Amino acid sequence: MENSFDDNIEIKLPIRIEAKAVEKLIQTKMIGENIKSEKDGEVTHYAEVLDIHLSKSEDPNFDLALDLKLRTLTTFFKNKELDLRVYLSLGFSEEEQQMFIQDYKIDGETDNWLVDKFIQTVANNVLYSKVKSKMNFKIQPLIEKQLLELNEKLRNKLEARDGIYLLGALSTLRVSNLTMDEVHFYLDILVKGSALVEITKLDAPA
């Protein structure tokens, strides 16, 4: 009798990612970035991103809130620190395996009318496109490293308990859904692969 376990499993696997890990990723991509625009070959620098933090939006119309600390770079507003909150509504394309920004709202009013006009100009003309480009990313590459590590362990037999081992390989991985709460992102992963349970020790019943 021939036994084959090639691609003999297909499951939906929920994965939970700490929001702090996503925040760290966004900080790596955005802190130190210059918010600038270019027109007719002339570059205008508006501000530098000093810090950024991620949280669940308290506005029910949005998913996330990004708190940004900026340092202004324009001639008129030089070296002034500004705090902005950007509310973001997230979207996910299963076909493209990509998360993206669907909508946004800027909250950064001060007691200074000129500063508020500067904030609105920067936010609507430049900042949104910067945040949008940094927040649009494919999810699958973010978890491929962990998948490769798991496959390596499965190839070498992963011990579940004394005398029981799990071996195999995951061949296909696709994200089918993305949600979040205050502290976690949740992914539904469709996994296809092969698995085999190997028993090397049998205990006689008492």
Question: What is the structure's pLDDT at 148?
Answer: 80
Q: Which pLDDT tens digit goes with each residue over 170-184?
A: 877 788 888 888 889
Report the length, in residues, of the chain: 206
Domains and CATH numbers, the chain: 9-15+140-199 (3.30.1370), 19-138 (no CATH)
Residue 1's pLDDT band (cuts 50, 70, 90): very low
| CA nearest neighbour of 70 among 85, 60, 56, 55 | 85
Q: Which pLDDT tens digit goes with each residue over 15-32?
A: 898 999 989 988 998 899
Q: How far apart are CA 115 and CA 96, in angstroms?
A: 39
Q: What is the mean pLDDT of the chain?
A: 82
Question: What is the structure's pLDDT at 7?
Answer: 65
Please answer whether residues 61 and 79 qualify as being in contact, where contact means their C-beta atoms are separated by less than 8 angstroms: no
| CA nearest neighbour of 188 among 179, 196, 197 | 179
Rounded to 5°, angle at Cα 152 from 147 and 157: 120
Residue 59's pLDDT band (cuts 50, 70, 90): very high
Q: Which two tokens stand for residue 147?
A: 């998948």
Q: Which pLDDT tens digit goes with each residue over 94-128?
A: 888 888 888 888 886 666 767 777 777 777 666 77
Which has the higher per-residue pLDDT, 187 or 140? 187
Question: What is the structure's pLDDT at 67?
Answer: 92
In the chain, what percentage of residues exceed pLDDT 90? 13
Rounded to 5°, angle at Cα 89 from 87 and 94: 150
Could you tell me the pTM of the whole model? 0.72
Which has the higher per-residue pLDDT, 126 or 51? 51
Residue 140 φ then ψ, to 5°: -55, -45
Question: What is the structure's pLDDT at 65?
Answer: 92
Task: Collapse the DSSP code of 201 into the 3-class scheme (helix H, G, I; strand E, B; otherwise coil) and give the result.
Answer: coil
Residue 16 φ then ψ, to 5°: -115, 125
Question: What is the structure's pLDDT at 23?
Answer: 92
